[in-house]
Amino acid sequence: MKALLSPLMLGALFAATTLIAPEARAQASVKPAAATAPAKFTELAKTPQMGWNTWNTFACDINEQLIRESADALVSSGMREAGYVYVNIDDCWHGKRDENGFIQPDPQRFPSGMKALADYVHARGLKLGIYSDAGAHTCAGKPGSRGYEYQDALTYARWGIDYLKYDWCDTDGLNARGAYTTMRDALRAAGRPILFALCEWGDNKPWEWAADVGHSWRTTGDIYPCWDCDFNRGTWSSWGVLPILDKQAGLRKFSGPGRWNDMDMMEVGKGMTEDEDKAHFSIWAMMNSPLIAGNDIRKMSATTRKILTNRAIIALNQDERGIQAWRFMNDGQLDMYAKPLANGEWALMFLNRADKARSYRFDWDEHELKDEFTHNQVHFGKVRHSFTELWSGATGDTARPYAMNVPAHGVVVLHLRPR
Ligand code: GLA
């Protein structure tokens, strides 16, 4: 590595701006960038990304053994087969930069190095994700990528990384769009298709500018495993399931294949009730959020595994049209969401926000659904559909009103197909 680097080139790498000299890139034996202007890798995240991430359960207490065991658990639990392929290492994997500025993993926690870990994960049909930050330090105070964007992107590509979550701590004075675009261009220059997940918490409205920059953007601050709470952390708050859902208002038009509103890593299996977990998972699926599990998948209960691997719910999230659901109606504390799917199919979700179960009779004749954004519309009373309830497996059709019982803090989710 060292021999390849002339002082001139090192300077260019350290400058780490979009102005890096093309000849320097070539000297670094980086795959040449496409002849066109730098752009994100458009072949990735055609449907919302699925995987697992260390942060929600382990925070900084991570090491390579945990990553290997979790990769194995993704396979043995059936999660990989259900679509969860990204194994994402969040904050705190970092050691120091070497004398040439190349970031190293923490030698105690990741003694075999990231390349070996990527090889392990790839051998199991999975992909490896990593975390960095647009500022000089990550949120946990580790080295960030500011000033090292091209060098870090190159390093990740050489390690065989497939996914980069890029955070927004320690960024005073930085322009978000500029900073994220610099890293996008750096990833493109490094040549390996790496899914780019912006984690800017919605502060600078990334949905307005990031469709060409990354594949998803966080829309809110951090999640917390509760139904409807705001967990005060002093200078900032974490949010429960309902507050995060409510912060999505007005954002669906920005979402679509390759550009997803990210509602944060999931808290399924982290202490909420079974009904709350089912609702949480269904909401994330209906809203086309990335489905990144945040529980300890090595030790999850059968109930948690069943929720996370509910193929019929996952299919709503992974529908090829990539249309985010909208709330078409509410009746007191009962919210109703609709999602147009491929082949003229639909999903409906009845979400009971209340602390008590709710009986509800849905009369198909009374509802004509019109999606103002995609112009899909349907009148279930006029065009008969059959449906499956995706948590109970119950079936029915739209010839007669549907009488349902929606659990407290729970959902009823229907997948409707024209007959
Ligand atoms: C921020 C992010 C979290 C997590 C931590 C790591 O809070 O929003 O998802 O990555 O940083 O320090």
The domain that contains 79 carries what CATH number?
Answer: 3.20.20.70
Gyration radius of the chain's alpha carbons: 22
**Domain identity same for 246 and 334:** no
Q: Are 255 and 215 in contact (CB under 8 A)?
A: no
Report pLDDT for 241.
Answer: 98
List C-alpha distances in Å: 213 to 38, 172, 182, 264, 327.
Answer: 10, 20, 9, 18, 28
Q: Residue 403 belongs to what domain range?
A: 326-418
Rounded (5°) CA angle 252-43-123: 115
Report the residue among 222, 237, 263 best suited for mutation to probe ligand 1: largest number of ligand atoms under 8 A from its CB. Answer: 222
Catalytic-role residue among 222, 262, 264, 335? 222
Report pLDDT for 38.
Answer: 82
Specify if 219 maps to a domain: yes
Specify if 10 maps to a domain: no
List CB contacts of 81: < 8 A, sequence separation 6 or more: none
Specify if 45 maps to a domain: no
Domain boundary among 318, 335, 355: 318
Specify if 8 maps to a domain: no
Q: Are 97 and 143 in contact (CB under 8 A)?
A: yes
Q: Are 277 and 266 in contact (CB under 8 A)?
A: no
Q: Are 66 and 92 in contact (CB under 8 A)?
A: no
**Domain identity same for 238 and 359:** no
**Domain identity same for 312 and 409:** no
Specify if 36 maps to a domain: no
Report pLDDT for 36.
Answer: 56
**Domain identity same for 283 and 368:** no
Report the residue among 132, 164, 167, 168 best suited for mutation to probe ligand 1: largest number of ligand atoms under 8 A from its CB. Answer: 167
Q: Which residues line ligand 1 (CB under 6 A)?
A: 55, 90-91, 138-140, 167, 199, 222
Distance of CA 324 to the CA centre of its chain: 14
Query: What are the 10-residue block averages of pLDDT along the chain, 419 residues in total?
Result: 38 40 44 65 98 98 98 98 99 98 98 98 98 98 98 98 99 98 98 98 98 98 96 92 98 98 98 98 99 98 98 98 98 98 98 98 95 96 96 97 98 97
Domain boundary among 318, 347, 381: 318
Q: Is 185 a catalytic residue?
A: no
**Domain identity same for 182 and 144:** yes
Domain boundary among 318, 352, 384: 318
Specify if 396 maps to a domain: yes
**Domain identity same for 297 and 377:** no
**Domain identity same for 313 and 335:** no
Give a three-class secondary structure readout of the chain: CHHHCCHHHHHHHHHCCCCCCHHHHHHCCCCCCCCCCCCCCCCCCCCCCEEEECHHHHCCCCCHHHHHHHHHHHHHCCHHHHCCCEEECCCCCEEEECCCCCEEECCCCCCCHHHHHHHHHHHCCCEEEEEEECCCECCCCCECCCCCHHHHHHHHHHHCCCEEEEECCCCCCCCHHHHHHHHHHHHHHHCCCCEEEECCCCCCCHHHCCCCCCCEEECCCCECCCCCCEEECCCCEEECHHHHHHCCCCCHHHCECCEEEECCCCCCCCCCCHHHHHHHHHHHHHCCCCEEECCCCCCCCHHHHHHHCCHHHHHHHCCCCCCCCEEEEEECCEEEEEEECHHHCEEEEEEECCCCCEEEEECHHHCEEECCCCCCEEECCCCCEEEEECCCCCEEECCCCEEEEECCCEEEEEEEEEC
Specify if 4 maps to a domain: no
Report pLDDT for 37.
Answer: 72
**Domain identity same for 237 and 216:** yes
Instruction: Supply the residue whose CA is at minimum distance from atom 11 of ligand 1.
Output: 139
**Domain identity same for 364 and 312:** no
**Domain identity same for 188 and 114:** yes
**Domain identity same for 253 and 205:** yes
Q: Is 91 a catalytic residue?
A: no
The domain that contains 409 carries what CATH number?
Answer: 2.60.40.1180
User: What is the 223 CA–ligand 1 centroid distance (Å)?
Assistant: 10
**Domain identity same for 224 and 260:** yes
List CB contacts of 356: < 8 A, sequence separation 6 or more: 408
User: What is the 348 CA–ligand 1 centroid distance (Å)?
Assistant: 32
Q: Are 247 and 287 in contact (CB under 8 A)?
A: no
Specify if 57 maps to a domain: yes
Domains contained in the chain, number: 2
